[in-house]
Structure formats: structure tokens, C-alpha cells
Structure 1
């Protein structure tokens, strides 16, 4: 639950605090994305558009439940997922590429 801030500085301190938590969670999510690359057969498995839509549906519902804007949440998740797919594609390619 958000606190009521008494100044712009207080708002920014709270945003900075949340940013630290969000980045820590991104790092944790990224480590699981890296692990997932090992289990996927090909780049289509990495892209997994059906799974992307499942995640989007889930987070939109979660946003609604938690009082977040579902449209903003979807946009953030689509950008994050696209970036993680690029990371995972690179990691997957490195896994399947023979070493010389």
C-alpha cells in the first residue's frame, strides 16, 4: 500500500526504493529465463507466443486485483518479455552452437 507523501522528495525516495526492489526482481526473473533456455528445443520454443499471451492475461488480471492499471501493466510486461526473449535467444543459440 502506498504511503501518503508530503513532498516531491518523499515521492522520489519511495520511487527509488521501489526501483531497487523491481530491479532485484528483474535480476531474479532473468536468472530463471536463463535456465529456461536449457529446456527449449529451438528458437520457436524460446519465443512461445502462446505462453506470452498467457502471462499477459495473468498479469492483467493481477493488475486489476491489485489496483494497478492493466494497460500500463501489459505494456511494461510486453517490453520486459521482448527483452528477455532476446536474452534467451542469445543464450539458447550459445547452448546449441558447437564450440570450436
Structure 2
């Protein structure tokens, strides 16, 4: 059984804070892995590598992330940077999967 998460104000030591950050990092990794499975599926559905880069969709996602980050008291510029990095990686990953599939035909 895992200990209940502590709120930041309840952490009394650096070890307490580090434990909570490690717990959150594990949860983030699980979410990134889940997201990656959907990105992989999207790459399986798309037929042309150029489909991987959709500027309108990217800007819509970034706009939502910026808005939602404000609701969560997170710096919107920092959130945008994280998402643009993630999106760039996903676009390149999708392009690679689609191109490899086309070469294999």
C-alpha cells in the first residue's frame, strides 16, 4: 500500500518533496506512455508523412494548453514550451512511422 500524497505545504524536508516529485514523475511517465500509444495509432491511420504536421491542429492544442495552464496556476509560457517540444517529437515520430511503412510496400 502506498502512502497518501502530501500537499506541498505538508512536506517537511527535501526528502519529502523529492518523494512527491518522484511520485508525480512516475504518473507523468505513465500518461506520456498512454499518449504515445495514441500517437502511434495516429501514425498507423495516416497515409502520408506530410499529414503528421498539421499547423492548425498544433495551434489549437497549444491554445488549449495555455488556457488550461492558467486555470491550474501554471505559467502558460512554460506549458507551451513543454507541449511544443512534445508535439515536435510526435510529428517527427509519426513522419518516421509513416515513411517507413510506405518504403516497406
TM-score w.r.t. the length of structure 2 is 0.86
Compute the RMSD of aligned alpha carbons. Answer: 1.6
2:3 matched residue in structure 1: none
1:90 matched residue in structure 2: 96
Greater gyration radius? 2
1:34-90 per-residue CA deviation (whole Å, 9 max, x = no partner) reads 100122232221011111111000011110111111111001011111111111111
Residues in 2 aligned to 1:2 and 1:88: alpha-carbon distance in whole angstroms:
38
The reply on whether 1:66 has 2:72 as its aligned counterpart is yes
Q: Which runs of 5+ in 2 are unaligned?
A: 1-5
2:16 matched residue in structure 1: 10
2:50 matched residue in structure 1: 44
Residues in 1 aligned to 2:7 and 2:45: alpha-carbon distance in whole angstroms:
39
TM-score w.r.t. the length of structure 1 is 0.89
Q: Which runs of 5+ in 1 are unaligned?
A: none
What is the DSSP-based 3-state SS (H/G/I as helix, E as strand, rest coil) of the residue aligned with 1:74?
helix
